[in-house]
């Protein structure tokens, strides 16, 4: 129990610190492609899908069968040509499937929304939903396949041909892993419906409610959700990947076990296409139980995770501030001091320099492995907090944050490079009478008129200052940090209790499943204690 609680606390700590993961400085070694189980694969950055990352590919242009990964193209064509709120009537053809098919579970003669059908096709890989979608949009699966081929040609899939809308085996239905990487990158980044596509394929579980009864749909991508414990799969292997955003599995005898996976970290999207798992593997036996097949079934998810880990770690580069300054990193900033003396030699313009150590090292995540890390474009977001004289040389007058890909690499104080004297107040000041009954201090503001030493004020421009003097939290909010800490602790306790409950429930279900299995075995006279 102590180890378990320590693990939970560690996970919570890591999640809390997730925004700073990019600071890691570990460099990846050359990836050992011999560890990839599938015979056809490619790893790409979604921004450049025709080119493998670091040359990680094998048989990327060989024609192969895509199985249910076909449904990525079926989905994107439906999103771009249909309306999610449309209701589709289910034909007999759409539900005419025998055993061994993955199905959503729709019923003939009823209506379902296109949105529910898309989830039913992409999460549990429903062949019935794919047929219903095609018939609703194009009138027939043949006409829809024509639309799919036209789309494939449009986006540059030059070695593919699609005959079915669900990917069931057909000799004339083929593609390449490079073409499927191109398709996936288009669906994620370029399609006008990319946001909806991303939402669908990244959903672990969904409830379809448009039909006659509610259907719970669970994603077959185990990088997003663990497989449930069943009577035939008592110990599913967890393949969850924190950066996973989809996308689709596939599995037929001739296609093997297939996966198109995508993961996103710090704005970089990587796509791994792995086809042909278990093809030609003499160890794999179709007569095995689900538990025996488990280690083969999860290899594609494990291989995708290994590829993503390699790529993301490989992208992390270290560079010194001095190197970045040599390439133009901004370290000096200007600000005008509004109440500077009229005799100021620079007319009130003050330069401030970032207080940075040239030897300090920062880590950046660079998607292009061929790009010089010192050529990255870093934003310098300055903020001045003290722009009123008198200001002494070396005084902190603000700060600057250096941002890359939306992440702050480092920040520094801005120091005044020289002193600035305050201008002497002249005539032309309109006095403001204070209310004797009001003991609170006030800040008097006004417009500058004439030269910098002459100020005209409006009596209405009297601004009360908070009881704290204008900085920090008001006295009546001093308790806020304590409340936030208490809330965090309570949430943490709830998470721990919930996880403990889930573990206990999982053990109970496993025990019940084993008891039922033994009972059936006794009844059949074939009882064999596997304890």
The answer, yes or no, to whether the previous bond of 375 is cis (omega within 30 of 0) is no
In a domain, 199, yes or no: yes
**Percent of the chain, pLDDT > 90?**
67
In a domain, 528, yes or no: no
Domain of residue 367, CATH code: 2.60.410.10
131 in the same domain as 53: yes
Q: Is the pLDDT of residue 343 over 80?
A: yes
81 in the same domain as 167: yes
42 vs 317, residue with greater confidence: 42
Contact 175, 157 (CB under 8 A): yes
pLDDT of residue 511: 79
232 in the same domain as 357: no
pLDDT of residue 446: 35
327 in the same domain as 287: no
Q: Is the pLDDT of residue 216 over 80?
A: yes
Q: Is the pLDDT of residue 525 over 70?
A: no
What residue numbers bound the domain in which 74 lies? Answer: 20-314
324 in the same domain as 301: no
In a domain, 146, yes or no: yes
471 in the same domain as 343: no
Buried b (16+ CB within 10 A) or exposed e, 366-384: bbeeeeebeebebeeebeb
Token digits of residue 530:
């596997």
pLDDT of residue 487: 86
List the catalytic residue out of 113, 125, 160, 210: 125
148 vs 493, residue with greater confidence: 148
55 in the same domain as 27: yes
pLDDT of residue 371: 83
User: Considering 314, 334, 358, which residue would you say is the last residue of a domain?
Assistant: 314
- Taking the CA atoms of the chain, what radius of gyration do you get in angstroms? 32
pLDDT of residue 29: 52
How far apart, in whole angstroms, are the C-alpha atoms of residue 418 and residue 22? 37
pLDDT of residue 437: 46
Token digits of residue 212:
């006659």
The answer, yes or no, to whether the previous bond of 390 is cis (omega within 30 of 0) is yes
The pLDDT tens digits for 160-188 are 999 999 999 999 999 999 999 999 999 99
Clarify whether 125 is annotated catalytic.
yes
Clarify whether 71 is annotated catalytic.
yes
Q: Is the pLDDT of residue 381 over 90?
A: yes
In a domain, 338, yes or no: yes
494 vs 115, residue with greater confidence: 115
**pTM (global) more than 0.85:** no
184 vs 461, residue with greater confidence: 184
In a domain, 393, yes or no: yes
321 in the same domain as 274: no
In a domain, 499, yes or no: no
The pLDDT tens digits for 224-239 are 999 999 999 999 999 9
Mean pLDDT estimate for the chain: 85
Clarify whether 440 is annotated catalytic.
no
301 vs 432, residue with greater confidence: 301
Q: Is the pLDDT of residue 309 over 50?
A: yes
Domain of residue 103, CATH code: 3.40.710.10
List the catalytic residue out of 52, 71, 113, 317: 71
Mean pLDDT of 332-358: 94
H-state helical runs in 315-364: 321-326
The pLDDT tens digits for 418-448 are 999 998 754 343 444 444 444 433 333 333 3
pLDDT of residue 267: 87
Q: Is the pLDDT of residue 245 over 50?
A: yes
245 in the same domain as 360: no
User: Considering 387, 419, 451, which residue would you say is the last residue of a domain?
Assistant: 419
Total domains, the chain? 3
439 in the same domain as 363: no
Backbone angles phi and psi of 119, in degrees to 5: -65, -40
**3-state SS, residue 428:** coil
195 in the same domain as 273: yes
Contact 20, 410 (CB under 8 A): no
Q: Is the pLDDT of residue 31 over 50?
A: yes
- Report residue 406's pLDDT band, with 50, 70 and 90 as the boundaries: confident
Q: Is the pLDDT of residue 269 over 80?
A: yes
State the helix-helix crossing angle for 141-154 and 71-81, rounded to 10 degrees: 90
398 in the same domain as 258: no
- Report residue 298's pLDDT band, with 50, 70 and 90 as the boundaries: very high
Token digits of residue 285:
């036996």
How far, rounded to the nearest angstrom, does the alpha carbon of residue 30 sit from its chain's CA centroid? 25
User: Considering 419, 452, 468, which residue would you say is the last residue of a domain?
Assistant: 419
Name the least confident of 96-105, 396-405, 461-470. Answer: 461-470
């Amino acid at each position: 129990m102590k180890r378990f609680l320590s693990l939970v606390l560690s996970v919570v700590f890591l999640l809390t610190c997730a925004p700073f993961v990019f600071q890691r400085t570990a460099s990846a070694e050359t990836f050992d492609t011999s560890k990839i189980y599938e015979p056809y694969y490619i790893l790409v950055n979604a921004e450049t899908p025709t080119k493998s990352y670091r040359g990680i590919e094998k048989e990327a242009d060989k024609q192969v069968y895509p199985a249910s990964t076909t449904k990525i193209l079926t989905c994107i064509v439906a999103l771009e040509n249909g309306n999610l709120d449309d209701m589709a009537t289910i034909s007999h053809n759409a539900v005419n499937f025998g055993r061994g098919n993955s199905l959503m579970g729709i019923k003939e003669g009823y209506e379902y929304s296109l949105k529910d059908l898309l989830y039913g096709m992409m999460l549990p890989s429903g062949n019935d939903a794919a047929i219903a979608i095609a018939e609703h949009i194009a009138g027939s699966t043949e006409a829809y396949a024509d639309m799919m081929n036209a789309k494939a040609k449009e986006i540059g899939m030059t070695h593919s041909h699609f005959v079915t809308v669900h990917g069931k085996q057909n000799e004339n239905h083929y593609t390449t892993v490079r073409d499927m990487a191109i398709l996936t990158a288009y669906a994620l980044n370029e399609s006008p419906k990319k946001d909806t596509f991303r939402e669908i394929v990244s959903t672990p579980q969904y409830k379809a409610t448009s039909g006659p009864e509610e259907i719970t749909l669970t994603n077959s991508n185990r990088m997003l959700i663990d497989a449930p414990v069943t009577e035939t799969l008592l110990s599913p292997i967890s393949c969850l990947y924190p950066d996973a955003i989809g996308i689709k599995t596939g599995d037929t005898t001739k296609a093997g076990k297939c996966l198109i996976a995508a993961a996103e970290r710090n704005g970089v999207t990587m796509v791994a296409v792995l086809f042909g798992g278990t093809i030609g593997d003499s160890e794999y036996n179709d007569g095995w139980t689900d538990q025996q097949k488990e280690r083969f079934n999860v290899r594609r998810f494990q291989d995708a995770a290994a590829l993503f880990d390699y790529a993301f770690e490989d992208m992390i580069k270290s560079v010194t501030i001095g190197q970045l300054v040599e390439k133009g990193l901004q370290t000096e900033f200007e600000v005008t001091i509004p109440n500077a003396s009229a005799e100021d030699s620079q007319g009130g313009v003050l330069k401030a320099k970032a207080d940075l150590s040239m030897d300090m090292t920062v880590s950046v995540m660079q998607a292009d492995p061929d790009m010089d890390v010192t050529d990255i474009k870093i934003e310098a977001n300055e903020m001045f907090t003290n722009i009123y004289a008198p200001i002494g040389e070396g005084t902190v007058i603000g700060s600057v944050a250096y941002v890359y890909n939306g992440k702050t690499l480092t920040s520094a104080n801005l120091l005044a490079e020289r002193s600035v004297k305050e201008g002497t107040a002249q005539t032309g000041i309109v006095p403001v009478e204070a209310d004797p009954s009001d003991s609170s201090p006030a800040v008097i503001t006004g417009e500058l008129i004439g030269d910098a030493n002459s100020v005209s004020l409006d009596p209405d421009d009297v601004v009360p200052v908070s009881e704290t003097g204008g900085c920090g939290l008001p006295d009546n909010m001093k308790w806020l940090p304590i409340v936030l800490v208490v809330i965090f602790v309570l949430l943490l306790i709830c998470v721990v209790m919930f996880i403990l409950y889930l573990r206990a429930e999982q053990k109970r279900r496993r025990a019940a499943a084993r008891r039922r299995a033994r009972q059936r075995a006794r009844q059949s006279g074939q009882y064999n204690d596997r304890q």
